[in-house]
Structure 1
Amino acid sequence: MVAIDIDFEVFKELTMRRRSEAMTENEVIREILGLSKPTAHTKAATLASNRGTPWVSKGVTFPHGTEFRTTHKGQQYTGIVQNGALVVNGKRFSSPSAAAVAITGNPVNGWMFWECLVPETTKWKTIAELRK
């Protein structure tokens, strides 16, 4: 699989076009481009390539592809676990608090600041819930 870099605005648009949490960004792009649904072989290859390195912070493992979200001063921010780090606005972070500080400009407990959606689940949780 080939990786491509996209800016945050494009990522946000792809995320907004997902009809459900189960729909991937790749499926959105295939739909926009008018491509047919992938075959079982294509799906297997995509699944294998999506198994990147998880991100581990304070003993909690977030699988590759885990989505993060928060709202600060009325604006929603999103992030995703990619190859061993939390990526927010194209920048990699080693802790949830560092990512939160980048948004707020102030010291903040990232464990209370962020919610996450682990792949193949349907319920958003504050990441602090996962430390218990």
Structure 2
Amino acid sequence: MRLASAPVPAFPTADLADAFQLSRNHLIKIMQKLGRAGLVQTRRGGSGGATLAHAPEAIRLGDVVRVLEEGQALVECLHPNGGDCMIDGCCRLKTRLWVAETAFIENLNRSTLADVALPAPEPV
């Protein structure tokens, strides 16, 4: 949301981590995921940092959430390996949870990063 908010050349990862009180290592992992998905671009060096790979209007929220939550199942039985569910095979909830998760992403995809861009910080 911050990358969508201001027309600066690039946001240094360290500045983003400080602004949102995140671990720099954690934010670097997030940026790497977003970069592999083609949503952000990163550059090293003095004028380096992160920028959106596309206009904020072209990036759907659900696509961002899907990338960031990849491998994180809503509940254990939705995990790719099926988890250790004792009632798998006769459970009538699993399909409903999968449908709900799909609907959640589809609902988010009705909006873009431009719709939720943070206001630019006030000049100091």
Common topology (TM > 0.5): no
Structure of higher CA gyration radius? 2
TM-score (norm 1): 0.24
Which fold has the larger relative contact order, with Cα–Cα distance below 8 Å and residues 6 or more apart in sequence?
A: 2
Richer in strand (by share): 1
Richer in helix (by share): 2
